[in-house]
């Protein structure tokens, strides 16, 4: 069994699932997801289990599945490296760099605790991950066709708790408007008459503050589920991401081989967080 502890919103949960799914695919173990920490890990921004929007190949954990991974010995293992007197192995991420050596070659039960924010954990089964993240409910067909037909650019502005919570802001920060202007100018030089489609958790702020020299259409209106907005992002031809796992997945799931993707050079405000492996090498960092 591979037990994945889920943390954060939809984009973070997708990274955690993708890492566990790739390990399960390689080893033949069953994949089990533990959502019990979602509501308590970030009290100012409680999360809910969101992966049920996709046809994932995993089941939710039972109390029996999680009992030992949440026990005092497991906590001591995470903090001090004390071995567990059982067949449970803990793989706990340290930092955000790619760490494949955390996963043993053989195990009976493995518990993954981390964010696992790099495609390097699942690049060898990318097609499988893309199939797992095909939404159960197709997005608005007329809008999806419009996005696919136009020289479209999905532009994502992430605010929410990044802007409202000082502690979260000190870690993540906000992408400045100058980043979006530079990214739009870069894509305009390479895409004939681009049209920009705005996705945001604060569309009113974005509409009031972002002025581009090219058509800008606001897609987010608060009525669509996150998974539907994500699916609409993937319909666009090119992308300008925020420092957000949500728009990371919107860009990564786009299947077009000729897509152009701009991502912020400073993914985190906290300089101690190393995002070197987070952004794929084919994306342009500005």
* Domain end marker among 108, 132, 156: 132
* Domain end marker among 97, 132, 167: 132
From residue 111, how far is each of 23, 62, 65, 107, 203 by CA, in Å?
11, 14, 10, 10, 38
Do 178 and 65 have their domain in common? no
What pLDDT, on the 0 to 100 scale, is given for residue 74? 52
Q: How far is CA 167 from the centre of its chain?
A: 20
Asked whether residue 209 carries a pLDDT value surpassing 50, the answer given is: yes
Do 276 and 151 have their domain in common? yes
Do 150 and 259 have their domain in common? yes
Do 106 and 203 have their domain in common? no
What pLDDT, on the 0 to 100 scale, is given for residue 80? 46
pLDDT tens digits along 86-132: 688 889 999 999 999 999 988 999 999 999 999 999 999 999 999 99
CATH number of the domain where residue 271 is located: 3.40.50
What pLDDT, on the 0 to 100 scale, is given for residue 37? 86
Mean pLDDT across the chain: 91
Do 125 and 145 have their domain in common? no
pLDDT tens digits along 50-81: 999 999 999 999 998 888 777 645 554 455 45
Tokens found for residue 69 = 């991974």
Of 109, 283, 261, 102, the C-alpha closest to 187 is 261
Do 126 and 152 have their domain in common? no
What pLDDT, on the 0 to 100 scale, is given for residue 88? 86
The helix, strand and coil proportions of the chain, stated in percent and rounded to the nearest 5, come to: 40, 15, 45
Phi/psi at 172 (nearest 5 deg)?
Answer: -95, -45
* Domain end marker among 107, 132, 157: 132
Do 148 and 271 have their domain in common? yes
What pLDDT, on the 0 to 100 scale, is given for residue 68? 76
Domain count, the chain: 2
In whole angstroms, what is the distance from residue 88 CA to residue 64 CA?
Answer: 13
Do 6 and 106 have their domain in common? yes
What pLDDT, on the 0 to 100 scale, is given for residue 69? 77
Tokens found for residue 67 = 């009992």
Do 57 and 148 have their domain in common? no
From residue 189, how far is each of 6, 182, 218 by CA, in Å?
40, 11, 22
User: How large is the average pLDDT for residues 162-171?
Assistant: 92
Tokens found for residue 277 = 């492996």
Do 79 and 157 have their domain in common? no
Do 178 and 107 have their domain in common? no
User: How large is the average pLDDT for residues 205-211?
Assistant: 94
Percent of the chain with pLDDT over 70: 92
Q: How far is CA 93 from the centre of its chain?
A: 16
Average the pLDDT over each of 10-24, 33-47, 166-180, 204-218 and give the range with the smallest value.
Answer: 33-47
Do 89 and 175 have their domain in common? no
Domain range for 89 is 2-132
């Amino acid at each position: 069994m591979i037990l994945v502890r889920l943390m954060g919103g939809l984009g973070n949960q997708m990274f955690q699932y993708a890492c566990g799914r790739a390990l399960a695919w390689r080893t033949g173990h069953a994949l089990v997801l533990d959502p019990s920490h979602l509501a308590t890990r970030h009290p100012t921004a409680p999360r809910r289990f969101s992966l049920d929007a996709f046809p994932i190949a995993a089941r939710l954990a039972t109390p029996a599945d999680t009992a030992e991974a949440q026990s005092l010995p497991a906590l001591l293992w995470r903090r001090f490296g004390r071995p567990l007197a059982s067949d449970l192995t803990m793989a706990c991420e340290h930092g955000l760099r790619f760490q494949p050596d955390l996963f043993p070659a053989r195990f009976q039960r493995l518990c993954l605790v981390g964010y696992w924010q790099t495609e390097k954990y699942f690049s060898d089964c990318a097609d499988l991950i893309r199939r797992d993240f095909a939404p159960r409910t197709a997005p608005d067909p007329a809008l999806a066709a419009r996005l696919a037909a136009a020289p479209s650019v999905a532009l994502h502005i992430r605010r929410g708790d990044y802007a409202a919570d000082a502690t979260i802001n000190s870690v993540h920060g906000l992408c400045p408007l100058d980043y979006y202007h530079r990214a739009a100018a870069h894509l305009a030089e390479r895409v004939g008459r681009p049209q920009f489609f705005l996705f945001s958790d604060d569309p009113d702020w974005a509409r009031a503050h972002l002025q581009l020299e090219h058509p800008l259409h606001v897609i987010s209106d608060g009525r669509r589920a996150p998974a539907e907005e994500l699916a609409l992002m993937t319909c666009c031809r090119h992308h300008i991401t925020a420092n957000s796992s949500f728009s990371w997945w919107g860009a990564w799931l786009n299947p077009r081989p000729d897509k152009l993707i701009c991502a912020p050079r400073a993914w985190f405000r906290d300089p101690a967080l190393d995002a070197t492996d987070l952004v794929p090498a084919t994306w342009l960092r500005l």
